[in-house]
Amino acid sequence: MGYDDVITYLGDFGKYQKQIYFLLCLPAISCAFHKLAGVFLLARPEFRCLLPFENALNATYDSFPKDHWNLTYPFDSATGKYQRCEYYDVDYTVDYLQTATSPATENGTVKCNHYVYDRSKYENSAVTEWDMVCSRGLLTATSDSLFMLGVLLGSIIFGQMSDKYGRKPIFFTSLVIQVIFGVIAGVAPEYFTYTISRMIVGATTSGVFLVAYVIAMEMVGSSYRLFAGVAVQMFFSVGFMLTAGFAYFIHDWRWLQIALTLPGLLFMCYHWVIPESARWLLSKGRKEEAIVVIEKAARINRVTIPSEVYDNLIDEAAEREKIEKSSADNADEKASTVFDLLKYPNLRRKTLLIFFDWFVNSGVYYGLSWNTNNLGGNVLLNFMISGAVEIPGYSFLLFTLNRWGRRTILCGCMLVAGVSLLLTIVVPVDKNWIIILCAMVGKLAITASYGTIYIFSAEQFPTVVRNVGIGAASMVARIGGILAPYLNLLGEIWRPLPLMICGALAFIAGLLSLMLPETLNKPMPETIADGELFGKRTLKDEVVESGGEELTRIVSQEKANYVSNGKTK
């Protein structure tokens, strides 16, 4: 008897589970702060070169009249804007500026050494403090990219540590590290310290959010897992929107970084409230500790668990060890790896499609989330709406995912995202509100598809390699997140370009998703052979079409495909 049997008596989502679940959802808000803060910490306002005759202390973005810009800054006909990284090499006297009718280009241009920033939207940012523009412009994307690399490394490191040392200690260790390095990032004296600190914070978001998510899901019954898995994402969306609120009131990037970090201190008090996962305790043979957790839950839920349930609780880890040992003794059976997903044609095709879907969903989601500065209009309002549209996206899944099917939702949402983002190409420049509308529809749709791909992938991979498959898919997704900051830099070349690329990727991935088999109400594949056959034409279909005379040949052919590899169906 295991914890699933205990849930029968406790209730799938009793009062105790609701209390702990709600508390564990709150750290998702804090993690959203850190993941989305880069939009404001690394905000790149309008800027221009500081001209030789200007005083660096007194010069402002608008102190030099724009009707004289044609005399000082080269015009780029490709972008329709003046060059911001160089100026004409002339003697900027009063007579020149008042009498010249065309720029003096004979001496060429000079690259900027100092810049003047438009501070009407942002008082300052890490970009304005360390002049991360022009030749140093890639530094902003690199910083965000390394943050996502930290998220990738954190999911691997903290995931393994939570399985080994427990959910609770890793959650609090991650939380302490997050607060410390979050503050260090806010007081960093230079770019390197800031970026490394932010990368460590990125790693801890996996330790805080994912471990809290695991604790919450491990105490919820199967009938509530869809709701629990989706609802926690809504708390992340709330954190998304609250980030804009912090940025509205705090205009200095250093204080903003610290303010977004300090709420993590509130979760320290969880140490006396949040229990260790009873499932994990049972898996490690710590039966007495697990019973203490279960008894507290039963007391708060006002239920009684029969004494024989406690007497019959088994050590799940020991059972698995016996099974694994038995399997290892079988000479015909070997441990499955991610490479098994790529050995067989049908399984390989599905695996690569799933990997591509994860890559696109992650890249497009973060690409749109971090692209609000390039949409025009009110930056804070754009950011707030971008977070708000996620709520209906996740709510949509709650009502449709178990009715319409996984493939229908995944494909449909990605196609909607692709079409809405591609439509921004034909929107007139003076209709900026339509561009924002299309971008937000795309964000809503990609949010829904991102929520779907988690469940859909788990149901596609065979049991023997499911964890490995999901882990590999998640790593591919992080690559999309790592590349997203560089994608947004293309908006400086042509504003619709990031949206166009995101739209094209989403549209292609949506169409390719039609090649995946539906999994709703279908038994999940157990073995590699099951996974290879899942989604293929079945023996029954082929026999019916052939009238039965090819039965022997078909069976022999299927056996030959798997017996030779030691994977008999």
State pLDDT tens for residues 70-111: 888 888 776 678 888 898 888 877 777 777 778 777 778 889
Percent of the chain with pLDDT over 90: 37
Lowest model confidence (mean pLDDT) among 373-382, 413-422, 546-555: 546-555
Helix (H) or strand (E) holding 47: strand 47-49
Q: Which of 142-151, 289-298, 466-475 has the highest mean pLDDT?
A: 142-151
Sign of CA dihedral 400, 516, 421, 144: positive
CA distances to 50, 53, 114, 286, 450 from 56, in Å: 7, 9, 8, 66, 47
> What crossing angle do the helices spanning 497-512 and 432-460 adopt, rounded to 10°?
30
CA distances to 335, 361, 418, 502 from 507, in Å: 37, 11, 4, 9
CA distance 32 to 260: 10
CA distance 359 to 509: 10
Whether 491 has a pLDDT exceeding 80, the answer reads no
Give the per-residue pLDDT at 454. Answer: 81
DSSP letter for each residue of 322-345: HHHHHHHH-TT-----GGGGGTSH
Cβ atoms 215, 171 nearer than 8 A: yes
Give the per-residue pLDDT at 122. Answer: 84
Give the per-residue pLDDT at 401. Answer: 85
Candidates 277, 255, 99; CA nearest to 185 is 255
Q: What is the mean pLDDT of residues 190-207?
A: 94
Q: What is the mean pLDDT of residues 388-407?
A: 90
Using 50, 70 and 90 to split pLDDT, how confident is the model at 307? Answer: confident
Whether 372 has a pLDDT exceeding 80, the answer reads yes
Using 50, 70 and 90 to split pLDDT, how confident is the model at 250? Answer: very high
Candidates 260, 294, 202, 231; CA nearest to 451 is 231
Give the per-residue pLDDT at 542. Answer: 44
CA distance 109 to 117: 20
Cβ atoms 37, 144 nearer than 8 A: no
Out of 3.40.50.300, 1.20.1250.20, 3.40.50.150, 3.40.190.10, which CATH number does the structure's domain 336-525 have?
A: 1.20.1250.20
Whether 63 has a pLDDT exceeding 50, the answer reads yes
The strand pairing partners of 116, in sequence order, are 48
Give the per-residue pLDDT at 327. Answer: 52
Q: What's the start-to-end Cα distance of the chain, in Å?
A: 29
Using 50, 70 and 90 to split pLDDT, how confident is the model at 335? Answer: low
Q: What is the mean pLDDT of residues 277-286?
A: 81
Whether 56 has a pLDDT exceeding 60, the answer reads yes
Give the per-residue pLDDT at 11. Answer: 86
pTM, entire model: 0.84
Cβ atoms 296, 281 nearer than 8 A: no
SS (H, E, C) 107-160: CCEEECCCEEECCCCCCCCHHHHHCCCHHHCHHHHHHHHHHHHHHHHHHHHHHH
> What crossing angle do the helices spanning 345-369 and 497-512 adopt, rounded to 10°?
150
Lowest model confidence (mean pLDDT) among 196-210, 230-244, 356-370, 373-387: 373-387
Using 50, 70 and 90 to split pLDDT, how confident is the model at 530? Answer: confident
Lowest model confidence (mean pLDDT) among 65-69, 139-143, 250-254: 65-69
Amino acid at residue number 122: Y
Whether 566 has a pLDDT exceeding 60, the answer reads no
Q: Which of 166-170, 240-244, 523-527 has the highest mean pLDDT?
A: 240-244
Q: Which of 240-244, 309-313, 316-320 has the highest mean pLDDT?
A: 240-244
Q: What is the mean pLDDT of residues 146-153?
A: 93
Q: Using CB atoms within 10 A of its CB, is residue 542 exposed (0-12), middle (13-18) or buried (19+)?
A: middle
Boundaries of CATH 1.20.1250.20 in the chain?
Answer: 1-40+134-333, 336-525
State pLDDT tens for residues 23-39: 999 999 999 999 999 99
Three-state DSSP state, 82:
strand
Lowest model confidence (mean pLDDT) among 69-83, 319-333, 354-368: 319-333
Out of 3.10.20.340, 3.40.50.1820, 1.20.1250.20, 3.40.630.10, which CATH number does the structure's domain 1-40+134-333 have?
A: 1.20.1250.20
Q: Which of 8-12, 165-169, 392-396 has the highest mean pLDDT?
A: 392-396
Three-state DSSP state, 534:
coil
Give the per-residue pLDDT at 555. Answer: 47
Q: What is the mean pLDDT of residues 205-211?
A: 85
Largest CA distance in the chain: 98
Using 50, 70 and 90 to split pLDDT, how confident is the model at 148? Answer: very high
Cβ atoms 83, 75 nearer than 8 A: yes
Using 50, 70 and 90 to split pLDDT, how confident is the model at 51? Answer: confident
Candidates 395, 389, 368, 393; CA nearest to 450 is 393
The alpha carbons of the chain give a radius of gyration, in whole angstroms, of 28
Using 50, 70 and 90 to split pLDDT, how confident is the model at 333? Answer: very low
Whether 263 has a pLDDT exceeding 90, the answer reads yes
Q: What is the mean pLDDT of residues 318-328?
A: 54
Strands 81-82 and 75-76: antiparallel
387-401: burial string, b at 16+ Cβ within 10 Å, e else? bbbbbebbebbeebb
Give the per-residue pLDDT at 185. Answer: 96
Q: What is the mean pLDDT of residues 213-241?
A: 85
Lowest model confidence (mean pLDDT) among 268-272, 279-283, 311-315, 415-419: 311-315
DSSP letter for each residue of 445-497: HHHHHHHHHHHHHHHHS-GGGHHHHHHHHHHHHHHHHHHHHHHHHGGGT-TTH
Candidates 76, 69, 62, 79; CA nearest to 103 is 69
SS (H, E, C) 281-299: HHHCCCHHHHHHHHHHHHH
Q: What is the mean pLDDT of residues 369-389?
A: 87
Q: What is the mean pLDDT of the chain?
A: 84
Helix (H) or strand (E) holding 48: strand 47-49
Q: Which DSSP letter does residue 521 get?
A: T
Using 50, 70 and 90 to split pLDDT, how confident is the model at 402? Answer: confident
Top-confidence residue, 186 or 222 = 186
Three-state DSSP state, 218:
helix
Lowest model confidence (mean pLDDT) among 41-45, 283-287, 384-388, 516-520: 283-287
CA angle 140, 146, 152 (to 5 degrees): 150
Using 50, 70 and 90 to split pLDDT, how confident is the model at 225? Answer: confident
Candidates 73, 74, 46; CA nearest to 60 is 46
Lowest model confidence (mean pLDDT) among 42-51, 174-183, 338-347, 365-374: 338-347
Whether 519 has a pLDDT exceeding 90, the answer reads no
Which tokens in the block code for residue 70? 């044609």
